[in-house]
Chain A
Amino acid sequence: MPAATDKFSRLAALKPARSGPSRPAPLRAPDQEDSIAHLLGAGVMKNHFGEHLAIRNWFSTPEFSEPSAVALELLSRTRDVEMSRRTRAALEDPAKWLFLDTETTGLAGGTGTYPFLVGIASWDAGGLEVEQFFMRDFAEEHSLLHELAARLADRPVLVTFNGKSFDWPLLENRFAMTRSISTPRLAAHLDLLHPARALWKLRLGSVRLVELERRVLDAPRLGWHREDDIASALIPQYYFDYLRGGPRDPIVGIVRHNQMDLRGLAALFGKINTLIASQHTDRDGIDSLDLFGLSRFFERRGDSDRAHVACSQALELGLPAEFLPRARRELALLAKRRGDHARAAALWLELSSDPQDGVLACEQLAIHYERRAKDPARATEFARLGLAKLQRMRIHKHDPYAVARATRLVEKLLVRINRLEGKTKNKSANRGATSWSLSNS
């Protein structure tokens, strides 16, 4: 781990050279009677909008992990925009990063859903500095948002887990509703949900953060446990109860839950970073399914070269039988895209007897033999085989999409067969054209 050895020196050396983020203002000690503040170990943060509670902690784990250039490139890649130089500079500077996770009064979104606890975290001294803002009541929202805007001005690169579609739009709503605090501008927003999905959905089924901690991040090594973690579905109700003078203890649980989510998020970044940055020579000990997931990630971000390498590695290492056809199919498509048609054909051949992908494989082989290998007879054979497979397949009649898909495929294959037979006929004029009927499909 090269990042581990120089992390302190690097940060320490760089800190004074940069006009780094300003230190947040010290907190005021809570009043004697402010029992929720005492219970949470919180201080009072005051600004011209009012006040709210803030809880600050420093954790030694997860440790700082230096973002690799390739991870940054791929994680921040968006379809439409070219990245500006300023954005790139912010992105490449971990001191500009802010991990964020909120606890809200519901999942419905819209203007009536409030983030009542906003947790943010940043790298500091090789560990993680976590700051959480809690509103004791709705009236404290503006001061909370003001403080958050100040942090984001210092650290405009947002890192979240599902924050692109949930936390951040919700916060944008809240800022807009104040009519006085403008919505902070982000330099970049790295959301780890989709990468995590590409990487681990196949292996884990679910990519909830808790699941990832347990099965990907090696939870015990992280230095915390979730044994008495609260159920996140209950969070809104706990908060409503607290507002109405109900029990306050669950709030402590929510604050801890949020801390763990933030630390999990930071650790997850490290894990994804390591995986993406790993050289293919340096991937011992990585689960073959994770390698396959990695290839899916590369493929989705448009890096087919890396995707191809990872996928081949996964296949070499050996995948569970249920994932084999899928991996072969992706590898074949990747090979085709790279122009490695012989390799693709070999893979399609392996797949041609697969019940799921057989039809696709036959179609691809027909294309291959028609266009590349210039062997119309062979091509016809595969097109017919594909058609026969398709007609044997049981299509659910009540699924109009499946029926339409099958019909389209049948038509495509028929067109190909007719064309191919035209070609063959030119060569051997004796063979009559076969007519295929759609009626039994």
Chain B
Amino acid sequence: MSHSLAVRPRALGSLEPQAGSSLSAVREVLDAFRSRDVNGDVLTAVRYFPAREAQWAEFPAWIQADLAAAYDAKGIRQLYTHQAIAAEVVHTGKNVVVVTPTASGKTLCYNLPILNSILENPDTRALYLFPTKALAQDQLAELYDLNQRLDNRFGVFTYDGDTPADARRAIREKGHVVLTNPDMLHTGILPHHTRWTRLFENLRYIVIDELHTYRGVFGSHLCNVLRRFGRIANFYGSDPQFICCSATIANPGELAARLLEKEVEVLDANGAPAGEKTFVFYNPPVVNRALGIRRSYINETSRVAQEFLKRDLQTMVFANSRLQTEILLTYLQQANPQPPGRQETIRGYRGGYLPNERREIERGLREGRIRGVVTTSALELGIDVGSLDTVVMAGYPGSIAGTWQRAGRAGRRSGSSCAVMVASSSPLDQFMVRHPDYFFGNTPEHAFIQPDNLEILLNHLKCAAFELPIAPGERFGEVGVPDLCARLAEAGYLHLAGDHYHWTHEAYPADTISLRSVTSDNFIIIDVTGVPSVIGEVDFTSGLVFLHEKAIYIHGGQQYHVEHLDFKERKAYVKQVEVDYYTDAIRYTQVRVLEATGTSDASAASANSHSHGDVLVRSQVVGFKKIKFFTNENIGDGKLELPENEMHTTSYWITLERPLLESLPYSVSDRQSGMFGLLHALRSVATLLLMCDGRDLGTAIGERSPAPDSGRATDDFTPAGPGDASGSKLKEFFEPNLYLLDAYPGGIGFSEPLFRAHHLLIRKTRELIAACTCEDGCPSCVGPAGDLAPRAKKAALGILDRLCG
């Protein structure tokens, strides 16, 4: 363990290199950008944040002298106000969620009261959960350092998949603080809780760091893991207190309360100091206005980063994929050549690099030896690399919280720092870069979970039964446990003995349940070019779209031709190829409303309504197109006969009534195409509001369901989106529903929030399309013009006007 890891920036305050010069250098770069931005549409926002003084507080009186001395030795003699408040509230025994920006010393908020309590009573145990192994490692370094200063009076260990088997026993016995991740808790700790008796009997604290990452599927799983955890803690007679930390989102308290199913106090003051900072939105210049084509944002990112590096500003570049990381790294290393034998000063850092190499880069960054680093989200969360001068982001990171976290990597306590977000042409990026107020105002991002998704809940109920027989009257979420147990018993998983349900299956249920997906139904991809080897897996629904026979599947930059899809065995056999086209599956989706849980009042004047509820989605991949790279020409297609896939999920939808459509002065095909374009834009904005990924939401258009009692079912197939529709003739809808679907069986909790946010969603979508400078549609708003009818963009705006009106 490297001791230097534990040296926090604060202790180094006076030693920071180039502290004084960075201000002028940053200004110089900004001036250079401005002088080149003749039309004034490249720098869409330059926001200046003045330096903020620290607000100090004393260590609480109840803190043990030894612990205060250990912090003192690290250079921490006073607390920031928010740290002191957090420590006090934790001390009173309340569950809390601490909301603070990056680099505000949040770990002290939980370490201080917890270590204090361990020093007071050495039986005390605490469990820390981090979303990744790397974060746990980083915290280990910090705690290890404190422990050294306290003569090793407590035990602190990480417990994850990398922990050697012979070390595990010691950790279970001697670990006062055990650092792990939800996946390990799920598969490694809970099913073997008898080995952890010591920990469970004395467990007083659970820390959940990076709480905002537990949303959607992952969050819904975590909630259930915590339900299981609660049963086990209860079995051993403990009732631990929760301390959570979250980045800034709109609803941290709601998310925490939902995850923990307990009352949680929100602490969102911030007393940490900050140096002055400039935040810049950079939209690559337009090269073809009609088609809405801009300069490559990757090239622009490299150009921006190089401006900073040239002036010796230490810079971190974020890319959204591994491939982009490698491209940017190549560009920047070429631009900053080193004499032979000297180490590169620009380095890459991402998952897939070996731990030692990572540690070396982290050290190099802290010591200033490394001047630039190109990374993925791997460095977004709290890995300690010190603070840099500038951050450049290639593309919008996907969420406002994530963007702030990345930007927070730049920020000397003294001197000036700068963060630049270079927008790609995706709708979300373009929306952000053109609506900076949306970003810089109060965050609209809400994190949602749906722990009572039956698929997810049942899986965890199985795990729960494996861990401890289910007693009569037990609660597990908002569902009827006895009924579900009876069903699991019928399916052969449980058996009622006495009044308890026991696990009766040979398999170990946690092993087959991944916390990162809803079902474990995956396609395995086998490369049969040489000796057959498994190169990856893809979830069931994506599998049908990407792995159909004759598809070109791209993995790690290599193209593969799918030779055979063994549907029953869930295996795709692929061979390496080099071709100049990719394939696009044509999927038909049909949605049937099973039950509308809520519907807005449709006034006669507006001729529209919106609803949310349960739907049945049937989709089938019926063919594919071959599309040539660069020119996007359609160079062939094929028919496919894949089984129909049926999914029960939840959806939000907008119903457009006949009068509304008839009031639009456009042809039928413009109107239809406009609806697909509108849906494209709606989805982009919805992912923003929900902090989710584009893949988490499906879209479909279908005829409005007849009234439930009319007995008529709508069974027509409808193409899933504008891309898929081009091969076939558009059907005219009499009164269409535009669906935004939860893309997971059972739904993951997006539909109801969308229903509630309907007006915001419509307004923001309208802003997105209206502000787009393209003429007839582009990937940034309603989708590429070539896929749409000529006046689709105008039709989409026309519909939006009427929805707003």
Q: Which residues of A contact B (CB under 8 A)?
A: 105-114, 137-139, 172-173, 176-177, 179, 236-237, 240, 243-244
> Which residues of B lie under 8 Å from residue A173 when comparing CB positions?
192, 194-195
Residue on B nearest A137 in the bound complex, by CB: B497
Task: Judge if B705 is at the interface, Cβ distance under 8 Å.
Answer: no
Complex Cα gap A106–B495 (Å): 15
Q: Are A137 and B465 in contact (CB under 8 A)?
A: no
Q: Are B508 and A109 in contact (CB under 8 A)?
A: yes
> Which residues of B lie under 8 Å from residue A176 when comparing CB positions?
194, 197
Q: Are A111 and B506 in contact (CB under 8 A)?
A: no
Task: Judge if B466 is at the interface, Cβ distance under 8 Å.
Answer: yes
Q: Are B191 and A110 in contact (CB under 8 A)?
A: yes
Q: Are A237 and B506 in contact (CB under 8 A)?
A: yes
> Which residues of A lie under 8 Å from residue B505 when comparing CB positions?
105-106, 240
> Which residues of A lie under 8 Å from residue B441 when comparing CB positions?
none
Q: 8 Å CB contacts to A: which residues of B183-198?
A: 191-195, 197
Given contacts A172-B194, A177-B194, contact A114 B467 (CB under 8 A): no
Chain B's nearest CB lies how many Å from the CB of A49? 13
Task: List 7 A-B pairs, Cβ < 8 Å.
Answer: A108-B507, A110-B466, A111-B193, A112-B508, A112-B509, A138-B502, A173-B194
Complex Cα gap A179–B232 (Å): 12
> Which residues of A lie under 8 Å from residue B193 when comparing CB positions?
111
Q: Are A106 and B507 in contact (CB under 8 A)?
A: yes
Task: Judge if B634 is at the interface, Cβ distance under 8 Å.
Answer: no
Given contacts A110-B466, A111-B466, A172-B194, contact A105 B504 (CB under 8 A): yes
Q: For B467, B503, B504, B511, which residue has the most chain A Cβ atoms within 10 angstroms? A: B504
Chain B's nearest CB lies how many Å from the CB of A343? 36
Q: Are B495 and A243 in contact (CB under 8 A)?
A: yes
Q: Are B497 and A139 in contact (CB under 8 A)?
A: yes
> Which residues of B lie under 8 Å from residue A113 when comparing CB positions?
508
Complex Cα gap A173–B194 (Å): 6
Q: Are A138 and B495 in contact (CB under 8 A)?
A: yes
Task: Judge if B498 is at the interface, Cβ distance under 8 Å.
Answer: yes
Q: How large is the interface on B (under 10, 10 to 19, 20 to 34, 35 or more residues)?
A: 20 to 34
Given contacts A137-B498, A138-B497, A240-B492, contact A112 B194 (CB under 8 A): no
Q: Are B497 and A111 in contact (CB under 8 A)?
A: no
Complex Cα gap A390–B312 (Å): 50
Q: 8 Å CB contacts to A: which residues of B164-198?
A: 191-195, 197
> Which residues of A lie under 8 Å from residue B191 when comparing CB positions?
110-112
Residue on A nearest B465 in the bound complex, by CB: A112
Q: Are A106 and B467 in contact (CB under 8 A)?
A: no
Chain A's nearest CB lies how many Å from the CB of B24? 50
Chain B's nearest CB lies how many Å from the CB of A107? 7
> Which residues of A lie under 8 Å from residue B506 when comparing CB positions?
105-108, 236-237
Q: Are B492 and A138 in contact (CB under 8 A)?
A: no
Q: When the two chains form the complex, which single residue of A106, A107, A110 contacts B192, counting CB atoms closer than 8 Å?
A: A110
* Binary per-residue interface labels of chain B (99-135) against chain A in the complex, 1 for a CB within 8 Å, 0 otherwise: 0000000000000000000000000000000000000
> Which residues of A lie under 8 Å from residue B192 when comparing CB positions?
109-111, 173
Complex Cα gap A138–B471 (Å): 13
Residue on B nearest A243 in the bound complex, by CB: B495
Residue on A nearest B232 in the bound complex, by CB: A111
> Which residues of A lie under 8 Å from residue B504 when comparing CB positions?
105, 240, 243
Q: Which residues of B contact A (CB under 8 A)?
A: 191-195, 197, 235, 465-469, 492, 495, 497-498, 500, 502-509, 511
Q: Are A108 and B508 in contact (CB under 8 A)?
A: yes
> Which residues of B lie under 8 Å from residue A106 when comparing CB positions?
505-508
Q: For A108, A179, A243, A244, which residue has the most chain B Cβ atoms within 10 angstroms? A: A108
Q: Are B194 and A114 in contact (CB under 8 A)?
A: no
Residue on B nearest A235 in the bound complex, by CB: B506
> Which residues of A lie under 8 Å from residue B466 when comparing CB positions?
110-112
Q: Are A138 and B469 in contact (CB under 8 A)?
A: yes
Given contacts A105-B504, A172-B194, contact A111 B495 (CB under 8 A): no
Chain B's nearest CB lies how many Å from the CB of A113? 8
Chain A's nearest CB lies how many Å from the CB of B259? 24
Q: Are B508 and A138 in contact (CB under 8 A)?
A: no
Q: Are B194 and A138 in contact (CB under 8 A)?
A: no
Complex Cα gap A137–B495 (Å): 9
Complex Cα gap A110–B509 (Å): 10
Residue on B nearest A139 in the bound complex, by CB: B498
Q: Are B492 and A111 in contact (CB under 8 A)?
A: no
Q: When the two chains form the complex, which single residue of A107, A112, A240 contacts B467, counting CB atoms closer than 8 Å?
A: A112
> Which residues of A lie under 8 Å from residue B508 when comparing CB positions?
106, 108-110, 112-113
Q: When the two chains form the complex, which single residue of A111, A137, A139, A236 contacts B194, counting CB atoms closer than 8 Å?
A: A111
Q: Are A111 and B468 in contact (CB under 8 A)?
A: yes
Chain B's nearest CB lies how many Å from the CB of A172? 7
Q: For B194, B465, B466, B502, which residue has the most chain A Cβ atoms within 10 angstroms? A: B194
Given contacts A111-B466, A243-B495, 6 further A-B contacts (CB under 8 A): A105-B505, A106-B506, A106-B508, A110-B192, A112-B503, A173-B192
Complex Cα gap A110–B507 (Å): 10
Complex Cα gap A244–B497 (Å): 10
Complex Cα gap A244–B502 (Å): 12
> Which residues of B lie under 8 Å from residue A240 when comparing CB positions?
492, 495, 504-505
Q: Are A138 and B498 in contact (CB under 8 A)?
A: yes
Complex Cα gap A173–B196 (Å): 11
> Which residues of A lie under 8 Å from residue B492 when comparing CB positions?
240, 244
> Which residues of B lie under 8 Å from residue A138 when comparing CB positions?
469, 495, 497-498, 500, 502
Residue on B nearest A169 in the bound complex, by CB: B195
Complex Cα gap A206–B511 (Å): 28
Q: For A114, A138, A237, A243, which residue has the most chain B Cβ atoms within 10 angstroms? A: A138
Complex Cα gap A243–B503 (Å): 12
> Which residues of B lie under 8 Å from residue A110 when comparing CB positions?
191-192, 466, 508
> Which residues of B lie under 8 Å from residue A114 when comparing CB positions?
502
Complex Cα gap A396–B742 (Å): 48
> Which residues of B lie under 8 Å from residue A107 when comparing CB positions?
506
> Which residues of A lie under 8 Å from residue B468 when comparing CB positions?
111, 177
Chain B's nearest CB lies how many Å from the CB of A21? 28
> Which residues of B lie under 8 Å from residue A108 when comparing CB positions?
506-508, 511
Complex Cα gap A240–B495 (Å): 9
Chain B's nearest CB lies how many Å from the CB of A342? 39
Residue on A nearest B510 in the bound complex, by CB: A110
Complex Cα gap A70–B197 (Å): 38
Complex Cα gap A109–B192 (Å): 8
Complex Cα gap A150–B498 (Å): 25
Q: Are B498 and A111 in contact (CB under 8 A)?
A: no
Residue on A nearest B236 in the bound complex, by CB: A179
Residue on B nearest A175 in the bound complex, by CB: B194
Complex Cα gap A111–B235 (Å): 13
Chain A's nearest CB lies how many Å from the CB of B499? 9
Chain B's nearest CB lies how many Å from the CB of A140? 9
Complex Cα gap A236–B495 (Å): 13
> Which residues of A lie under 8 Å from residue B235 when comparing CB positions?
179
7 closest A-B pairs by CB: A112-B466, A106-B506, A108-B508, A176-B194, A138-B497, A112-B503, A139-B498
Residue on A nearest B533 in the bound complex, by CB: A398
Complex Cα gap A177–B195 (Å): 10
Q: For B495, B497, B502, B506, which residue has the most chain A Cβ atoms within 10 angstroms? A: B506
Complex Cα gap A112–B465 (Å): 7
Chain B's nearest CB lies how many Å from the CB of A153? 21
> Which residues of B lie under 8 Å from residue A236 when comparing CB positions?
506
Complex Cα gap A237–B505 (Å): 8
Q: Are A244 and B194 in contact (CB under 8 A)?
A: no
Complex Cα gap A179–B498 (Å): 18
Complex Cα gap A337–B497 (Å): 60
Chain A's nearest CB lies how many Å from the CB of B430? 45
Complex Cα gap A107–B505 (Å): 10
> Which residues of A lie under 8 Å from residue B469 when comparing CB positions?
138
